[in-house]
Amino acid sequence: MTPILQLEEVRYTYPGNAEPALRGANLSLWGGKKIAVLGRNGSGKSTLFLHCNGILRPDGGQLYLAGKPVKYDRGSLLGLRRHVGIVFQNPDDQLFSASVVQDMSFGPLNLGLSQVEASRRVEEAAEQCEIVDLLDRPTHALSGGQKARVALAGVLAMEPSVILVDEVMASLDPWMRDQILSILHDFAARGRTVVLATHDLALARTWADLVAVMEGGRVLAVDTPDVIFSSEAMLAHLGPRSAWFYPPLRSASEAALAPQGDRATKPVAPAVPAPVDGPLCEPLTVPTERNPHSNGSGNVHADLGKMTQR
Ligand SMILES: Nc1ncnc2c1ncn2[C@@H]1O[C@H](COP(=O)(O)OP(=O)(O)O)[C@@H](O)[C@H]1O
Ligand SMILES: [Mg+2]
């Protein structure tokens, strides 16, 4: 089966920069999956996303949409943007029309849809993202969280096959964050693809079907959260363990409530997962019981395809 979108050895250097932002990035996206992209600041997540819908054009390498090479003429770019929507890291880069309703209608109308169909999609997406009461508001008069929801609603109104969400969760309150995650979950449940760049390692562990780890402009590995988060080699790229491992709340509150003497004799030991020997990349390329989807191709990215056909 052909991936919806495939990035092959994509390289890119921003004008004026000495160092490349992408140094041969590979990623294949298949339908029905929620993929978290992790990596330190500057590892290339946003640059990778901007390539996925043709805002940036690679200096080298190739993008494929449904197996066909993306050419950067108008028709090819329109096709790419019809299928791949992006919610920018900074919503101010996304919202440019005077009012929310105008902003949300822009994408669907630009796809050539009728006014009636564009309005239907805008209403539906606005209800999903709970921004109906904001539709007539000027875009500049919104809070950060409202802007993020409007930006997402605008992309949903385009009904893309792939939606890329670049680190917007931090601007949302916990209720809205859960709601947006649930919208994205439903989106993937309808056979579409969600790619979420995040620093929230706990979220990546629990919400994502697959985790991609980026460093230095490359995608180091793509695999299930279980595999990624039990690999010492990958964890070294992800950040301090405290960021994703926290003692279960019940144990913590029990410890706080326990009598002093009891606590002195029975310290609550954090249940740190047993480290896995060796680098992660090996299990990714060799079919194993833990990773039966690997095709053993030697290319860690090639495995994503089989995994997403389940
Ligand atoms: N607009 C830009 N102009 C010049 N360099 C940029 C620009 N955006 C990103 N970069 C550089 O590209 C590299 C990758 O950045 P980015 O893709 O934003 O990483 P991430 O999203 O993982 O933080 C960094 O070295 C960054 O400084
Ligand atoms: Mg970024």
Q: How confident is the model at residue 194 (pLDDT cuts 50, 70, 90)?
A: very high
Distance CA 88, CA 114 (A): 26
Choosing from 11, 12, 17, 237 the residue with most ligand 1 atoms within 8 A of its CB, the one to mutate for a pocket test is: 17
Q: Is 242 in the pocket of ligand 1 (CB under 6 A)?
A: no
Task: Please tell me the predicted confidence (pLDDT) of residue 104.
Answer: 95
Region of 216 on the Ramachandran plot (φ > 0 left; ψ -120 to 50 alpha; else beta): left
CA 260 to ligand 2 center in whole angstroms: 46
- Summarised one tens digit per residue, pLDDT across range 142-164 is 988 899 999 999 999 999 999 99
Q: Could you give the percent of the chain with pLDDT greater than 90?
A: 61
Q: Which ligand is nearest to the CA of 43?
A: 1
CB 231 within 8 A of CB 281: no
Q: How confident is the model at residue 243 (pLDDT cuts 50, 70, 90)?
A: low
Task: Please tell me the predicted confidence (pLDDT) of residue 170.
Answer: 80
DSSP type of residue 83: H
Whether this prediction's pTM lies above 0.85 is answered by: no
pLDDT above 80 (res 288) = no
Q: State whether residue 307 is helix, strand or coil.
A: helix
CA 167 to ligand 2 center in whole angstroms: 7
CA 43 to ligand 2 center in whole angstroms: 8
Q: State whether residue 286 is helix, strand or coil.
A: coil
pLDDT above 60 (res 283) = no
DSSP H stretches of helix in the chain: 45-52, 74-83, 100-110, 115-128, 144-156, 174-189, 201-207, 225-229, 232-238, 249-257, 260-265, 281-285, 302-308
Q: How confident is the model at residue 73 (pLDDT cuts 50, 70, 90)?
A: very high
Q: Is 81 in the pocket of ligand 1 (CB under 6 A)?
A: no
Q: How confident is the model at residue 274 (pLDDT cuts 50, 70, 90)?
A: very low
- Summarised one tens digit per residue, pLDDT across range 121-144 is 999 999 999 999 999 999 999 988
pLDDT above 60 (res 18) = yes
Distance CA 273, CA 282 (A): 20
